[in-house]
Structure 1
């Protein structure tokens, strides 16, 4: 099979796809409390955008400061919530994704920031995903748009976060050859992320489970 753009890989079946951006455990929780009503429907992009760096980057929990290169942007739209508890989940969920992008750009699968925001099988899978880029000496360029976040607390107190990632303007660039591989301009390149996060004793919401759905935000 010819290798397509590094952000999206070929479908496993007619109804499901394995994406390189599926960098969590791949095992979602099917309990009803971990589902968000209407999450498979189209979501309108909110006008408000999150700042480039987290407002919680320097706090008592020791959250790392995450910086992306000037050649790659992750644009977060509508990542605000009037409930402070839900906003905390959004803030850490955003930084978790940014930490993985930064690790790819820095060619560092063992990034401390990735470990800070992931645990268990989610951390293992995140490192494997990052390593799939570093093994071939590929980095990220262009931009992704991350939008339509939907967040709630489930019956067990875990955070549930669904959001959309549009990768169609993102590409990989090989550090040795300079070859650029673009992401296909197809609906499957707009992904829905489905995360479960648990709060640590330091107050950090860590990603413990992630699945992605190709074209889930159409």
Structure 2
């Protein structure tokens, strides 16, 4: 997995960092090598994460985000049971990362439920950077225009965009948000690879992201 192009300590010092939450911003924020489908960024009504459609044996953990943290997922419903299962577990993975950041716990067990391999290591590192900086997060992030490709049984790729212009770094002690202006860098393009485990959970194994990609900016 590629690493962030801008060290978070520098971003915090400049007070110009935009969060990488489900996931993001998640733990990867450099350019993706793979070809990524374009995304239409026309505004759509926000909606909660889709409900699970796949039949499996996993008892997924309940994740409740603080009242000041919201992830909205627009258009994350295809009507195809397998693709919707990929989207559902991805939305839960994004919530899991946001939860771990707000709890200040890089070893939060929910991360290991939805991440694996390099993506899991990256997620833990990203949370740890928030902890070291004594920061948390606040605000709303919108995830939109997902494209799922189940290219083999139990294996899939997913690309999607996010808008972080209303999500901010927050000082953990004072609760003060470090608000930043909306720019092209408020938009991110993600490319992920997922694998379904033996319990039926679609885990993110690899993740890349790029800020200001033309396919996500208005």
Normalising by structure 2, report the TM-score. 0.81
The partner residue of 1:23 within 18, 27, 43 is 27
1:7 is the counterpart of 2:18:
yes
Moved more, 118-127 or 129-138: 129-138
Q: State the Cα distance separating 1:164 from its structure 2 match.
A: 1.0
Gaps of 5+ in 2: 1-9
Matched residue, 1:49: 47
Q: State the Cα distance separating 1:24 from its structure 2 match.
A: 4.5
> How far apart in 2 are the matches of 1:25 and 1:187?
14
Matched residue, 1:172: 169
Matches for 1:11-90 after TM superposition, within 5 Å: 21-24=25-28, 30=34, 35-36=35-36, 39-47=37-45, 49-51=47-49, 54-55=51-52, 60-90=57-87
1:108 is the counterpart of 2:105:
yes
Q: 1:27 to 1:210 in 2, by over 3 A?
A: farther
Q: 1:130 to 1:91 in 2, by over 3 A?
A: same
Matched residue, 1:130: 127
Matched residue, 2:189: 192
Q: State the Cα distance separating 1:159 from its structure 2 match.
A: 1.0
1:208 is the counterpart of 2:205:
yes
Q: Deviations over 1:47-100 (max 9, x none)?
A: 47234x8557xx730211111100111111111111101000000011011100
Gaps of 5+ in 1: 10-19
Partner SS, residue 133 of structure 2: coil
Number of aligned residue pairs? 200
Normalising by structure 1, report the TM-score. 0.81
Matches for 1:143-182 after TM superposition, within 5 Å: 143-155=140-152, 157-182=154-179
> How far apart in 1 are the matches of 2:150 and 2:31?
19
Q: Deviations over 1:180-216 (max 9, x none)?
A: 2124310111101111000111111000010001112
Partner SS, residue 168 of structure 1: strand
> How far apart in 2 are the matches of 1:28 and 1:155?
21
Matched residue, 1:16: none
Aligned-pair Cα RMSD in Å: 2.7
